[in-house]
A and B are shown apart, each in its own frame.
Chain A
Amino acid sequence: AQKITQTQPGMFVQEKEAVTLDCTYDTSDPSYGLFWYKQPSSGEMIFLIYQGSYDQQNATEGRYSLNFQKARKSANLVISASQLGDSAMYFCASPAPYYGQNFVFGPGTRLSVLP
C-alpha cells in the first residue's frame, strides 16, 4: 500500500476491555500485505500480526486479531482483554513498490491501558 492512515493519535482503554485501533490504506495493487507492529516505551519495534489481501479469514494471533474489510481498505487491530503491558505505540505498515519493498508506516496510535 502506498499510503497508510491511522486517525487515532491516542486511545485509552480500561484493563481487561477490548480496543480497536484503526488503519486504512491506499493502494491500487491487487496483492498486498498489512502488518501491525508494537513499539513500547523502550523503543523496539515488535511484529504483532499480518494480513494478506487474498486471505479468506481475518488474521488472529493470541489476543490480537484483525478486522479486515477489503472493500473499505481498512485493517483494524483488535486487542482483546487489554493488559497494562499493552500500553505502547502501535503502527500499521505495508510494503510499497517504490523502494525495494520497504515498509510504509502510518503515524501510529498511542494506546494507554488504565488500571
Chain B
Amino acid sequence: DADVTQTPRNRITKTGKRIMLECSQTKGHDRMYWYRQDPGLGLRLIYYSFDVKDINKGEISDGYSVSRQAQAKFSLSLESAIPNQTALYFCATSSGRDNQPQHFGDGTRLSIL
C-alpha cells in the first residue's frame, strides 16, 4: 500500500461545482501539504498543516480551503471550481527534518470544464 494516498486519481467536473480531494498517509508525519502543478511552473504550495489544529495558507491559497480531520488525513476543497484550477494536485507529507524529503501521493488530475 502507498504511504500517501490521494483520491480520486482523476476528476472531470464543471465550473461552479464543489470538489473535495482527499489525502491520507501512513508515514506518521505531522506535516502535510497540498501543491498544484501547472506545466512550466513546477509545484506551488496551496496550504500546509503541522497538526490538526494548525492550518496555514501557502503561496496560492485563493479559491481553496482545507480540512485536517486527523493526523493522517488532509483534504483540499474547491468551493466553486473555475477552469484555471485545472491542474495536477499533490498531497505531500514531511517529518520536518532538514535532511528528509517530502513524500508525495500519486497526484489527482483535475479538469474543470
Contacts and interface: CB of A to CB of B under 8 A. Distances in A.
Contacts of A93: 43, 102
B74 interface: no
Given A99-B45, A100-B48, A44 B107 contact: yes
Interface stretch (B21-29, B64-72, B77-85, B92-100): B92-100
Contacts of B104: 37, 44-45
A44 B101 contact: no
Nearest to A42: B106
Contacts of B90: 45
Please classify how large the interface on chain B is, using the bins under 10, 10 to 19, 20 to 34, 35 or more. Answer: 20 to 34
Please classify how large the interface on chain A is, using the bins under 10, 10 to 19, 20 to 34, 35 or more. Answer: 20 to 34
Interface of B: 31, 33, 40-45, 48, 50, 56, 58-59, 88, 90, 92, 94, 96, 98-99, 101-107, 109
14 contacts: A4-B42, A43-B107, A44-B106, A44-B107, A45-B90, A47-B101, A50-B99, A91-B42, A100-B56, A101-B94, A101-B96, A102-B33, A105-B42, A108-B42
